[in-house]
Structure 1
Amino acid sequence: MAGPERIELFIDENSVESGALKAMQTVRPSWKPDEIKFKVFTDGITNKLVGCYLEENKKDMVLVRVYGNKTELLVDRVAEIENMQILHVNGCAPELYGVFTNGLCYGYVHGVVLDTQLIRDPKVSRLNGREMARMHHIQPANGKIPEPSLFVKMSKYFTLIPDSFTDAEKNQRYQKEVPSTTQLQQELESLKGALLPLNSPVVFCHNDLLCKNIVYTEAEDKVTFIDYEYASYNFQAYDIANHFDEFAGVDEVDYSLYPDREFQLAWLRSYLQYFHADRPQPVTDREVEILYIQVNKFALASHFFWGLWALIQARFSAIDFDFLDYGILRFNEYLKRKDEFLGLQLPE
């Protein structure tokens, strides 16, 4: 597998366009600098993103993504590059053209990013299940399934969450509205005790399937998952649970949008039909019910994971987003749903 171009370049996140122009000299050397147009994307809350293209061929757009401040603490950048290449070879991701000191250049996927309405559209949600099943079938190069990343990453995140904030108002909210580190560690241990015995299969997961990381290309009747910063081998039920949690949106989070049992059962049945497409026997009601219970229990782990993540971002990120508020939301939803989801019983 030929690797992407290595570019000796550091792009200042406050002057992304001039840096992107330099990157194009390597990945699109035939493009004349004065003819290159830019499209700035503002959807991400982790990185800065700009698209480079020529007016006469907008289809060939190159995205330049500049990593957010200290995001290497949260994201394994070497693994991300490997994942993008594996996914591209498997037809699940655009091509990675180049890697520079603090970011990447890669292909643009044409279509519309999902919103809280489109994500639950019956046709689009079926495509999401199909694409997820396809990604979950990707095998490791050496044939050996690695350890699931969920609890390893959360242990690492615990070492990075702040003790306090210098901003007095922020610090007061933090001390008052976020459970103490001791309480969070106790919660995590009990969560681990509840989730590991479920024996959810370990598969290649995206781990961050929120609305804006899914592009729907109607003309081709397909969806493409983008942004693979958190992709890794992980629990199957976690990837699906995280996707369901994200039905609530990010900018104005509304957890009443979490899909109900009827929606989930239909989605899970469709997903399992794709996941077991090469199996002669049909998917059973029992299999759907087991996955439903696994997924709703793992939904708690998703809230917990992104709660920790948000506290770290609140400490380090330069992006204009209230990460502390987002973290509080995730932990509140975890505590609100905990008894209900952990109380679900697997069928005999």
Structure 2
Amino acid sequence: MAMKENGSIPSRAPEELKAVLKAVASEWGDIIKDMEEFLVVKLKGAMTNEVFQINWPTKHGGLHQKVLVRVYGEGVEVFFNRDDDIRTFECMSEHGQGPKLLGRFPDGRIEEFIHSRTLSAADLRDPEISSLVAAKLREFHNLDMPGPKDVLLWKRLRTWLSQAKKLCSPEAAKEFGLDALRDEISILEKELSQGDQEIGFCHNDLQYALSVLVATIAFFLDYEYASYNPVAYDLANHFCEMAANYHSETPHILDYTIYPDSEERRRFIRAYITSSGNEPSDAEVEQLLADAEKYTVANHLFWGLWGIISGHVNKIEFDYLEYARQRFKQYWYKKSLVLQSLTF
């Protein structure tokens, strides 16, 4: 694709993308005669898809239009159903929770570009920003989305385990202990599903780069992994992601020495519950704090399997297998701390 760029769209992006871009520009009254008029900026931080900002000059001279182009990662259909992803995306847009869908092509889609500030790893430690994220997460969990409202976590883990076994060599399967994981998943499901747990519509991929601020309102982006799950699992996901810095020179390296301490997690959970308009009791905060901490083990297993599969199917420049090793190491370590009462 001949465009001015400081990033490049993969060569596998089809000719249809050019036509859809021209159609979007035309709907806004901009006539694009030469593809050189488009400026491509590759955005960092994405690990499932490749994401680009595309600008072009408007008919008003110095002004520029912007859209976001998402090119789907290769082989990621194993993780989610793309049609379901599009339906969720459109529904989120209708709820005012995210950008609008502007166009589709076989290997991706074009989205509204939201003028916002993407959060950094450091932003998540800011109490004020953390409270905004907590309030938005509470709102997200309360969404009434179409389709089944059953917990998807355990089914997805079993599906991904089967896929990981198919892709791995015998040596790699032994390294990651894949033969033992079916029993691990069954016991986790039994033990973690006990008690009265709130089930909500969860994002399931709460890395900081998928959170943005528009003025003083937080928004979450990318809903490929979204589904109904225990809200404690999504909180665990958020806390685990605070060990990552995907914009560093080694984005696959996780630093669990900066995992939020109990007071930081407690503050987030209190803000999360309070945002609904009810002042929580200390017991309510402590229960959700404990539940979220237990669900970190399921979260490490989830992203460990994701890393193994991605390392075999996705061509994005990211050391998925080393990321998976760290997640599995943390799984076994964390399990011994927070699930000491379980018999494995």
How far the C-alpha of 1:22 sits from its partner, in A, is 2.9
- Which residue number in structure 2 is paired with residue 261 of structure 1? 262
AA paired with 1:178? F
Counterparts of 1:106 and 1:54 in 2: how far apart (Å)?
15
Q: Please, what TM-score do these two structures have when normalized by structure 1?
A: 0.85
- What are the equivalent positions in structure 2 for 1:283-322 lying under 5 Å apart? 283-322=280-319
Pair 1:161-2:164 in alignment: yes
AA paired with 1:258? Y
Pair 1:273-2:274 in alignment: yes
Counterparts of 2:237 and 2:77 in 1: how far apart (Å)?
22
- Which residue number in structure 1 is paired with residue 54 of structure 2? 52
Question: What is the RMSD computed on CA atoms of the aligned residues?
Answer: 2.3
Counterparts of 1:199 and 1:330 in 2: how far apart (Å)?
28
Q: Please, what TM-score do these two structures have when normalized by structure 2?
A: 0.86
- What are the equivalent positions in structure 2 for 1:227-266 lying under 5 Å apart? 227-249=222-244, 250=246, 251=251, 252-266=253-267
Pair 1:146-2:143 in alignment: no
- Which residue number in structure 2 is paired with residue 64 of structure 1? 69
- Which residue number in structure 2 is paired with residue 116 of structure 1? 121
Counterparts of 2:142 and 2:84 in 1: how far apart (Å)?
18
Contact 2:91 2:145 in 1 (8 A): no
Aligned residue for 1:266, secondary structure, equals helix
Unaligned runs of 5+ in 1: 1-11
How far the C-alpha of 1:117 sits from its partner, in A, is 1.1
Counterparts of 1:199 and 1:159 in 2: how far apart (Å)?
30
Unaligned runs of 5+ in 2: 1-8
Contact 2:93 2:100 in 1 (8 A): yes
AA paired with 1:264? R
After superposition, give the CA deviation of every residue in 1:135-168 in whole Å (9 maximum; x if it has no partner): 11111347xx6111111111111221145657xx
Change (3 A) 1:297 1:139: same
Change (3 A) 1:206 1:176: same
How far the C-alpha of 1:182 sits from its partner, in A, is 2.1
AA paired with 2:259? Y
- What are the equivalent positions in structure 2 for 1:153-232 lying under 5 Å apart? 153-163=156-166, 174-175=172-173, 177-179=175-177, 181-217=178-214, 220-232=215-227
Counterparts of 1:135 and 1:311 in 2: how far apart (Å)?
29
How far the C-alpha of 1:343 sits from its partner, in A, is 4.1
Change (3 A) 1:240 1:57: farther
Counterparts of 2:254 and 2:25 in 1: how far apart (Å)?
39
- Which residue number in structure 1 is paired with residue 133 of structure 2? 128
Counterparts of 1:267 and 1:94 in 2: how far apart (Å)?
26
Counterparts of 1:128 and 1:284 in 2: how far apart (Å)?
21
Counterparts of 2:166 and 2:195 in 1: how far apart (Å)?
33
Contact 1:202 1:235 in 2 (8 A): yes
Counterparts of 1:74 and 1:186 in 2: how far apart (Å)?
21
Residue in structure 1 matching 2:108, options 103, 113, 116: 103
Give the paired residue count.
320
Which 4+ runs in 1 deviate beyond 6 A? none
After superposition, give the CA deviation of every residue in 1:188-214 in whole Å (9 maximum; x if it has no partner): 112112211043211111110101111
Q: Percent identity?
A: 29
After superposition, give the CA deviation of every residue in 1:28-67 in whole Å (9 maximum; x if it has no partner): 2234143322211132121122222224444x42111111
Change (3 A) 1:92 1:57: farther
AA paired with 1:89? E
Contact 2:53 2:69 in 1 (8 A): yes
AA paired with 1:266? R
